[in-house]
Amino acid sequence: MNKETLRTSLSKWTFEFFLIVIGVTIALWLENIAEENKERQIEQEYMLSFQGDVSKDIVRLQNNIKNNSEIVKQVEAFLGKMMKGEITEENLLSEVGSMMHYDYFSPDDFTLSSIKASGDFRLLRDPLVKRKILQLRRAYDEIDVLQQNFQKALDSQIVPMFIENIDMTRGKVINPDFIRDHRLANIAGYTISDLNGRIAWYRKTLKIAQSLDQLLIAKTYVE
C-alpha cells in the first residue's frame, strides 16, 4: 500500500469514525429528549392526579370542620345543662349521643402512595410543589395521630362507662346517679377540648391544601 492509498484510507476511516460518533451522539440526544418528554408527561399526570386528590380533601376538610363544630356546640350545651342540673334520665340518652358520634378526616392519598412506591417523586421538578406536598402529608399524619388518640380514649374509657351505666338497647339509665357523675362532666369537657384541637388542625390543613391546590392548577394548566 503506497502512501497515497494509506492517506486515502485513513481519511476514509476518520470520516466514517466521526460519522459514527455523530450518529451515536444524535441518537443519544434524541433518546434523552424522548425520555425527558416522557418524564414531563408523567409529571403532568401526577400533578393533575395530585390536584384531583387535594380538591377532594378540601371538600372533606370543610365538611369535617362544619360537622365537628356542630358536635362541639351540642356537647357544650349538654355540659351546660349538666352543670345546672337540668339533665334527666329521659333526655340523657339523646344528649349523650353527641359524645359518641364523630366525623373523622380521611385523606385521598392514592397519588402520594403511588408516587412514593414507584420512586417517581423525583420527577416533580418544582421544589415548592414538593415542599407543599410534604407539608400537607405531615399535617395529615398529625391529624391521624390526634384522631387515633381520641379513638383510643373513646374505646377504653368513654364507651365502657356508657355501657356500664346505660342500657342503650332498652333506652334505660341503669345507674340513676350517672347523670350527676363527675366523670360524665369530665368526658364532656375532654370531648370539647379534643374536638376544638382537631378542628384547629383541620383548618390549618385546609389552608395548606388550598394553597397547594392553587399551585397545582397553575402548574398543570399554564406549562
Chain segment 88-108, per-residue pLDDT in tens: 877 777 777 777 777 899 998
For 60, residues 6+ apart whose C-beta sits below 8 A from its C-beta are 105, 106, 107, 108
Q: Is the pLDDT of residue 222 over 60?
A: no
3-state secondary structure labels for all residues of 42-103: HHHHHHHHHHHHHHHHHHHHHHHHHHHHHHHHHHHHHHHHHHCCCCCHHHHHHHHHHHCCCC
Find which of 22-36, 47-61, 173-187 is predicted with most confidence, using mean pLDDT. 47-61
Residue of 147 and 25 predicted with greater confidence = 147
The reported pLDDT for the residue numbered 32 is 60
Q: Is the pLDDT of residue 146 over 60?
A: yes
Percent of the chain at pLDDT above 90? 34
Report the predicted TM-score, pTM, of the whole model to 2 decimal places. Answer: 0.80
Question: What would the pLDDT profile of 152-189 be if each residue is shown by its tens digit?
Answer: 988 888 888 888 888 877 778 888 888 888 888 898 89
Q: Is the pLDDT of residue 223 over 50?
A: no
Which one-letter amino acid corresponds to residue 141? D
DSSP code for 2: -
Alpha-helix runs per DSSP H in the chain: 3-83, 89-96, 110-118, 127-153, 159-165, 182-222
